[in-house]
Structure 1
Amino acid sequence: MSTATAQLTFDELGTPLRDTTFVVVDLETTGGSAGADAITEIGAVKIRGGQVIGELATLVDSGRGVPPMIAELTGITTAMLVGAPSVRTVLPSFLEFAAGAVLVAHNAPFDTGFLRAACTEMGIAWPRPPVLCTVKLARRVLTRDEAPSVRLSALAQLFHATTTPTHRALDDARATVDVLHALLERVGNLGVHSLEELLAFLPEVTAGQRRKRGLAEHLPHSPGVYLFRGPGEEVLYVGTATDLHRRVRSYFTGSETRRRIREMVNLAVRVDHVECAHPLEAGVRELRLLGAHAPPYNRRSTHPHRRWWVVLTDEAFPRLSVVRTEREGALGPFRSRGGASEAAELLAGASGLRTCTPRISARTPRGSPCALHEMGRCAAPCAGLQSADAYGAGPRAVAAVVAGTDDAVLHTVRTRVEELAGAGRFESAATARDQVVALVQVLRRRQRLGALAAVDELVAARRDGAGGWHLVVVRAGRLAAAGHAARGVAPVPLVELLVASAETVVPGPGPLRGAPEEEVALVARWLEAPGTRLVRTSGPWAEPASGAGSWGAWAQRAGAAAQEAVHPLGRGWP
């Protein structure tokens, strides 16, 4: 006789309901307010695959009297609780009984509210199990004509439950088990066959979402990128998933509540996909597709090349200019022109660079000093009061701080903030501090990503968690190839094959060598994550020792100080 397990169908996503363990619980209490009232009885039934596999029932000494009205309703009197275990004894036993299961209750917020309040009182962390409310499920499955009331007694009668509810915990839990099984039969007819789909089924699902569920049927259970296409073959939305089938199918369930995405689903006529070796490849492909198609329903990364850079102009008396095009020695990228202009102004002020725009000749400077000269903020090279050689110290200082070879400019701006704070100008000091923090952050990002982009070729690997390896080939900051050596497959030959077949990358100008910033950042995060191993590199992958990385801890502390509105210098100013 064969013992092979039947293969799951596409509809059986996640954890099949037949393999899910449920613990159906019911409580009796001294009243209806969790925290103010107390538990007097717990009844619970553990079920899996339609079978009862355990029960738990006990009275609980609440330490207080049972109100007459409650005693009349439940039959539990104060005298019955004398000698019963306290909640401090019962609660840990119940939590152990329910560990790893889905918690089910009729009007679940009532029962879970009392259980959470008891955990809080005892200093026990609430385990946050998945919770299923049979009242909500009944309202989603049954019409008002079929079930005018969703009280437990009414549903038990409707579904011919084998146990009649009696307002005693175990009886009511057993009745809820019968109600749950009947409701699960109903949702199974609606295509809900897994725990994940069941939990997602409770919110309202539009008719349009239901009609489009078939769009996910052809997708594999593997990582990759998916593209929703509209009636004119236009790309509406791009996303990534570790399980393409499960992720795309979730758009057609109640778990998707975003109005824009529901609108997109109603427009979609097809879902295309690209299988990927691992999540990094999926993330990079997503970025590239976003840049290529600019899907209207994606809110991020649809214009990855719309960035700003701060550069030194090529003239006798260079100044800082904000440009769109990446160049050698540029600072950036910035996501707004305003941010780039603010950084340029801060650097110019700290290094003595001029901020006027006329081109100044090194041989015959003309003009008269402006107000900035009178304020001591410019040496007036336009009037011949500063030579090109003397002026050159400023551009060199800016180039050095951008490259990470000298952080003297950062020390200068730090000193200015200290002087403002020392003079009691705390608001100005706080504003200056925030500008310095922003500058440090963009310098750090530029130097970190530039260091990776400077490596012509880098090969790395990371364990996949199942005995295999995720492999990447990175060239000039871009992902050039990705592969997966499954358990039992020798990774070294696959590495050689990936390198031989990797995308040819022609580096461009600038610190990122023409690579999109978001792609380099995504690759860098993957490489920097714990467990990643460098297989080989064509050259050293290293950041400058005097770069903004050495200011990272201070920037973090100063940023936290800004949020807490404390002294402008923050704690531990370097």
Structure 2
Amino acid sequence: MSSSTREAPSPWEAQRSFDELGRPLRDLTFCVVDLETTGGSAAGGSMITEIGAVKVRGGEVLGEFQTLVDPRGEIPPFIAVLTGITNGMVAGAPPIESALPAFLEFAAGCVLVAHNAPFDVGFLKHFAEQQQRPWPRFEVLDTARLARRVITRDDAPNCKLSSLAALFGATTTPNHRALSDARATVDVLHGLMERLGGLGVHTLEELQTFSARVSTAQRKKRHLAEGLPHAPGVYLFRDDRSRVLYVGTSQDLRTRVRSYFTASETRSRMGEMVGLAATVTGIECATPLEAQVRELRLIAEHEPRYNRRSRNSRKVHFVKLTRETWPRLSLVTRVLDDDADYLGPFGSRRAADKALAALHDTFPVRQCSGRLPRRPSRSACVLAEMGRCLSPCDGSVDEQTYAAMVRRLSDTLLRRPDEVVESINRRMEALASDDRFEEAGVHRDRLAAFVRAASRTQRLSALSGCPELVACRREDDGRWAVHVVRRGRLAAAGVIPTGADAHQYVAELRASAETVAHAPGPVPAATAEESEKILRWLESPGVRLVDVEGEWVCPVAGATRHLAVHDAVAESRRTLVPFEDRRDLAPVHRPAR
């Protein structure tokens, strides 16, 4: 990394201050930054591997900054596959103690810009604090957040950096390299500014506070919120034929519903929905968790056209390990009471197929359909010839050997995923070392799908296996919220009144709770989404278990411990282009000419 950067001085730095109001955008200097990291959390130990930044003012590039950073440790195979940054590339690169001050000097006096800014700025601030280095009082602009206020579905399918770069004709394709992504973000920033300029937005203050304009017709419907209470609950927008258009939840029903008729509601879809709404119904709930669960159930019941998650909400898939003489893995859409092992549920067939492929890559279980007799009666299939099946059909394996492999597979599904994780990681490392990143990416996605499904199955099975669980938490107003959960389903919710006998209240709540019958599967009595919301509440700070019938435990060596790196990769990929669109970008640090 060069220690000098030629750039034109910023007149704004000398003439204006950040506290001055009404600063024209054309006079401001922006530093657009992007980072590559070894994971998703600096506090969790993830390190920066690359910093890229572009300084611009008035549409002109003033300078560029790029450096690889030595993370002082091995780059996980997942990250190497995603970014193309390898351990060899960062060997000899400056440490963060040198790279960070050089970047801060480059960005001094600028408005800091990033796509999904909390991620990049969070990493930078973390290491500044770690080095006991004062953090400059940057004003921060998030192009992702701004795009969500401006871009409609008619413009782009989403607000990922790749989609916005295509929309605005960016000269650089984002490719998970820091400088390339920063260059693409510059073009996105300019495209957003140009669009907002036509709406009368010309200053930084106007840019930061911009929200979609609300029509007069929308404002006239504010009276629909007047009958709602200032209390937590669920609200339902209905049209003139009483059909449910949208279901939402809030801690303050009246305030939230009123926001749909003001400038604070910026989603274009919601504007269309409000235009059709004739009434709003509110349902008070004892606790926020009850409101969230009621929302899920109402969405499943009514399938409102303006709730995205209502689409295909009942189409789930499971991977099943069959119970027969020669067990196999099968993709199914429902759980039976057949004592089989199930992995899921998956929200899409595609995710289920990936997890199934990860298992088949590791365990040579038969993939042919139908039952096989105990004695061989067929010739070997192609998979057997490739060494990917133990081939019970032609007698290549005995029942005991096959059963031992199936027991390992069952243990992988229900308790310990390490065999799949280690096998696919070795395969990815080998492919990445041969620069076969596309193939490695396929295995990365398969492993991620499996790990998420295994973690979900293990956590949901633990909760749904409990006939009853009662827990409470002291809320902000000092009262205790109580929930009765039966087999993963919320059966009752309440708040202990001030001065009431807590034991008697809980006993009465349990007596009046919904009866939930036993059923097979990881989530037999509720949807996976409901049980997961309950789990998040149970695992939140301050929750106390009042009583547990059964055992609520998860395997110590379960899949959840592998989620962190997969979540970091998924978040990074969410904002950028697919792996196959990645282009090579040589490290560079040079001023604009």
TM-score range (shorter-chain normalised) is: 0.5 to 0.7
- Paired residue type of 2:510: V
Contact 1:508/1:514, CA 8 A, preserved across alignment: yes
Alignment counterpart, residue 221 of structure 1, candidates 225, 230, 244: 230
Which of 339, 349, 360 is residue 337 of structure 1 equivalent to? 349
Deviations 1:251-299 (A, max 9, x none): 1112223222222212221111110011100000000000000001111
Residue 455 of structure 1 pairs with residue 433 of structure 2: no
**Are the aligned partners of 1:434 and 1:559 in contact in 2 as well (CA < 8 Å)?**
no
> Residue 271 of structure 1 corresponds to which residue in structure 2?
280
Larger RCO: Structure 1 or Structure 2 (Cα < 8 Å, ≥ 6 residues apart)?
2
Mapping of residues 316-395 of structure 1, within 5 Å: 316-327=325-336, 328-363=340-375, 365-395=376-406
Q: Secondary structure at the residue paired with 1:330?
A: strand
- Which range moved further: 214-223 or 433-442? 433-442
Structure-2 change in CA distance of 1:228 and 1:424 (3 Å): closer
SS in 1 for 2:13: coil
Q: TM-score, normalised by structure 1?
A: 0.62
The answer to whether structure 1 residue 251 and structure 2 residue 260 are counterparts is: yes
User: Which residue in 2 is equivalent to 1:435?
Assistant: 446
CA distance in 1, matches of 2:562, 2:210: 49
Structure 1 equivalent of residue 154 of structure 2: none
Whether the 8 Å contact between 1:242 and 1:279 is mirrored in structure 2 is yes
- Give 2:292's aligned residue: 283
Q: 1-side partners of 2:405 and 2:345: how far apart?
A: 22
* 1:396 equivalenced with 2:374 (yes/no): no
1:450 Cα deviation after fit: 1.4
CA distance in 2, matches of 1:359, 1:41: 75
Residue in 1 that maps onto 2:518? 507
Q: Output the amino acid matched with 1:213.
A: R
Matches within 5 A, 1:90-239: 123-124=136-137, 204-239=213-248
Counterpart amino acid of 1:230?
Answer: D
Following the alignment from structure 1 to structure 2, what is the Cα–Cα distance between the partners of residues 457 and 321?
A: 31
**What is the rounded CA distance, in whole Å, between the counterparts of 1:429 and 1:41 in structure 2?**
50
The amino acid across from 1:518 in the alignment is: E
Change over 3 Å in CA distance of 1:201–1:250 after alignment to 2: farther
3-state SS, counterpart of residue 35 of structure 1: helix
Give distance in 2, aligned partners of 1:217 and 1:519: 30
Once residues 331 and 38 of structure 1 are traced to their aligned partners in structure 2, the CA distance between those partners, rounded to angstroms, is 60
The alignment status of 1:37 with 2:49, answered yes or no, reads: no
Partner deviation per Cα, 1:202-258 (whole Å, 9 max, x = no partner): 863312212221111110000000011111111111000110011111111122232
Contact 2:245 2:305 in 1 (8 A): yes
Structure 1 residue 351: deviation in Å? 1.4
Instruction: Note closer, same or farther for the CA distance 1:235–1:312 as it changes in structure 2 (3 Å cut).
Output: same
Q: Distance in 1 between matches of 2:572 and 2:362?
A: 23
* C-alpha separation in 1, matches of 2:542 and 2:435: 48
CA contact (8 A) 1:475 1:505 kept: yes
- Which secondary structure state, in structure 1, belongs to the residue aligned with residue 15 of structure 2? coil
Paired residues of 1:236 and 1:268 also in contact (CA < 8 A): yes
In the alignment, the residues of structure 2 paired with residue 38 and residue 200 of structure 1 have an alpha-carbon distance, to the nearest angstrom, of 20
Q: Percent identity of the aligned residues?
A: 44
In 1, the alpha carbon distance for the partners of 2:18 and 2:368 equals 80
- Amino acid in structure 1 at the alignment position of 2:455: R
- Deviations 1:509-546 (CA, angstroms, capped at 9, x unpaired): 11222421000000000110111111111122110123
Change (3 A) 1:502 1:303: farther
Match of 1:298 in 2: 307
Asked if the contact 1:291–1:302 (Cα under 8 Å) also holds between the matched residues in 2, the reply is: no
Q: What's 1:53 paired with?
A: none
Separation of aligned partners in 2, 1:372 and 1:202: 57
Matching of residues 510-521 of structure 1 within 5 Å: 510-521=521-532
Q: Which amino acid aligns with 1:211?
A: K
Is 1:413 the counterpart of 2:424? The answer is yes
The equivalent residue for 2:590 is none
SS of the residue aligned with 1:511?
Answer: coil
Verify the 8 A CA contact 1:460 1:471 in the aligned structure 2: yes
More deviation, 213-222/367-376: 367-376
- For 2:402 and 2:355, the matched residues in 1 are separated by 20
Deviations 1:15-34 (A, max 9, x none): xxxxxxxxxxxxxxxxx974
Change (3 A) 1:454 1:375: same
CA distance in 1, matches of 2:288, 2:507: 21
Q: Is the contact between residue 485 and residue 491 of structure 2 (CA under 8 Å) also seen in structure 1?
A: yes
Return 5+ residue gaps in structure 1 as ranges. 1-31, 44-120, 129-198, 566-574
Asked whether the equivalents of residues 356 and 450 of structure 2 are also in contact (C-alpha less than 8 Å), the reply is: no
Q: Against the structure 1 CA distance between its residues 470 and 40, is the aligned structure 2 distance closer, same or farther, given a 3 Å change threshold?
A: closer
| Corresponding letter in the other structure for 2:13 | G
Question: How many residues align structurally?
Answer: 386
CA contact (8 A) 1:350 1:409 kept: yes
Secondary structure of 2:538's partner? helix
Residue identity opposite 1:35 in structure 2? E
Query: CA 1:200/1:502 → structure 2, altered by over 3 Å: closer, same or farther?
Result: farther
Task: Write the distance in 2 (CA, Å) between the matches of 1:410 and 1:504.
Answer: 40
Q: Is the 8 Å Cα contact of residues 453 and 513 (structure 1) preserved in structure 2? A: yes
Rate the CA distance shift 1:333–1:542 in 2: closer, same or farther, 3 A.
same
Amino acid in structure 1 at the alignment position of 2:136 = G
2:550 corresponds to 1:539: yes
Q: Mark the CA change 1:434 to 1:495 in structure 2 (over 3 Å): closer, same or farther.
A: same
- Alignment of 1:469 with 2:447, yes or no, is no
Q: Which shows bigger deviation, 441-450 or 279-288?
A: 441-450
When normalised by structure 2's length, the TM-score is 0.60
Equivalent residues of 2:357, 2:446 under 8 A apart: no
| Cα distance, 1:430–1:42 mapped onto 2, change above 3 Å | closer
Instruction: Describe the shift of the 1:292–1:38 C-alpha distance in structure 2 as closer, same or farther (beyond 3 A).
Output: closer
- CA contact 1:469–1:485 (8 Å) conserved in 2: yes
Matched, 1:315 2:324: yes
